[in-house]
Amino acid sequence: MSSMRTKGKAGRFAGVIAGVLTGLLAATALAQPAPQGKPKVYLYPFVRGEGVSEVVFNKVEQYFVTLFKMSTKLELVTDEELKTAEAAKAKEAMRKSTTVIAPWLEKADNLLWTGKDLLEKKSYEKAAETLSNARDLYEQNYLELRDYDKLVDATLQLSIAFFLAGYPDNGEELLKEVLVWRPTLAVDRKRYPKEFVDSLEKLKGLLDGRKGGMVRVEANPAEGSKVFVDGLLKGAIEAGKNGLDIDGLYRGKHYVQVVRDGYTIWAQKVSVPEPGRTEKVVAALQVVQEEKVEVKGDWEGLAFKTYEFALTGDYGMEFSKVAKQFADQAQVPYLLFGFVSAEPKGTKLTLFLFKSEWSALAEVEPVAFDQNLTNLQVNLLFLEANLASALDKYPKNKVVRGTPEVYVASQQAKAKAAAEAAKPVEVAKPVEVVKPVEKQPVRVTSNDVEEQPELKSRTQPANEDLGDLSSIFADGSGAGGNEEPGDTGNPIIGPTVGSEDWGEKKKDKKGGIVTKWWFWTGIAVGAGLLGGGSYLLYDQLGSGGGSSGYSANVYWDAMR
Q: Using alpha carbons only, what angle is made at residue 545 by residues 540 and 550, rounded to the nearest 5 degrees?
A: 25
What percentage of the chain exceeds 70 in pLDDT? 67
282 closest CA partner among 294, 298, 297, 270? 270
- How far is it, in rounded angstroms, from Cα 67 to Cα 154? 53
For domain 214-284, give its CATH number from 2.30.40.10, 2.60.40.10, 3.40.50.300, 2.40.128.30: 2.60.40.10
Task: Classify burial at 521, counting beta carbons within 10 Å of its beta carbon; exposed 0-12, middle 13-18, buried 19 or more.
Answer: exposed
Residue 253 and residue 180 in contact, taking contact as beta carbons nearer than 8 Å? yes
**Residue 309's pLDDT is what?**
92
**Residue 537's pLDDT is what?**
56
- How far is it, in rounded angstroms, from Cα 301 to Cα 307? 10
pLDDT at residue 528 tops 90: no
Instruction: Point out the least confidently predicted range of 20-34, 183-197, 221-235, 498-512.
Output: 20-34
74-108: per-residue pLDDT in tens? 998 887 777 777 777 766 666 655 556 789 999 99
216-245: per-residue pLDDT in tens? 999 999 898 999 999 999 999 998 898 999
Q: What is the CA radius of gyration of the chain?
A: 62
pLDDT at residue 21 tops 60: no
326 closest CA partner among 42, 522, 21, 93? 42
**Residue 331's pLDDT is what?**
87
Q: What is the pTM of this model?
A: 0.41
246 closest CA partner among 292, 201, 278? 278
Mean pLDDT for the stretch of residues 234-262? 92
What percentage of the chain exceeds 90 in pLDDT? 46
Instruction: Point out the least confidently predicted range of 179-193, 241-255, 274-288, 458-472.
Output: 458-472
With H, G, I as helix, E, B as strand and everything else as coil, classify residue 49. Answer: coil
Q: How confident is the model at residue 399 (pLDDT cuts 50, 70, 90)?
A: very high
pLDDT at residue 500 tops 80: no
**Residue 32's pLDDT is what?**
40
Mean pLDDT for the stretch of residues 194-209? 88
Residue 259 and residue 225 in contact, taking contact as beta carbons nearer than 8 Å? yes
Q: How confident is the model at residue 321 (pLDDT cuts 50, 70, 90)?
A: very high
Instruction: Point out the least confidently predicted range of 122-136, 396-410, 510-524.
Output: 510-524
Instruction: Point out the least confidently predicted range of 88-92, 159-163, 268-272.
Output: 88-92
Q: Are strands 334-343 and 47-48 parallel, antiparallel or unpaired?
A: parallel
- How far is it, in rounded angstroms, from Cα 450 to Cα 462? 24
Mean pLDDT for the stretch of residues 201-219? 89
**Residue 390's pLDDT is what?**
93
pLDDT at residue 277 tops 60: yes
| Segments making up each domain of the chain, as ranges | 103-140+147-207, 214-284, 505-539+551-560
Q: How confident is the model at residue 420 (pLDDT cuts 50, 70, 90)?
A: confident
**Residue 246's pLDDT is what?**
94
Q: How confident is the model at residue 431 (pLDDT cuts 50, 70, 90)?
A: low
**Residue 43's pLDDT is what?**
93
Q: How confident is the model at residue 426 (pLDDT cuts 50, 70, 90)?
A: low
**Residue 92's pLDDT is what?**
65
pLDDT at residue 45 tops 90: yes
**Residue 354's pLDDT is what?**
95
**Residue 1's pLDDT is what?**
37
- How far is it, in rounded angstroms, from Cα 418 to Cα 420? 5
**Residue 64's pLDDT is what?**
94
User: Integer distance in angstroms from the first to the last C-alpha of the chain?
Assistant: 196
The CA–CA distances, whole Å, from 414 to 49, 56, 312, 366, 421 equal: 9, 18, 12, 22, 11
More confident residue, 532 or 64: 64
341-394: per-residue pLDDT in tens? 999 889 999 999 999 999 999 999 999 999 999 999 999 999 999 999 999 999
Q: Which CATH code for domain 103-140+147-207?
A: 1.25.40.10
**Residue 78's pLDDT is what?**
81
| Range among 22-36, 156-170, 426-440 with highest mean pLDDT value | 156-170
pLDDT at residue 36 tops 60: no
Instruction: Point out the least confidently predicted range of 296-310, 344-358, 396-410, 431-445.
Output: 431-445
- Please report the sign of the dihedral spanned by the C-alpha atoms of residue 76, residue 82, residue 86, residue 87: negative
Q: How confident is the model at residue 413 (pLDDT cuts 50, 70, 90)?
A: confident
Half-sphere exposure of 278 (CA within 13 A, CB side): 9
Residue 147 and residue 124 in contact, taking contact as beta carbons nearer than 8 Å? no
Average confidence score pLDDT of the chain: 77
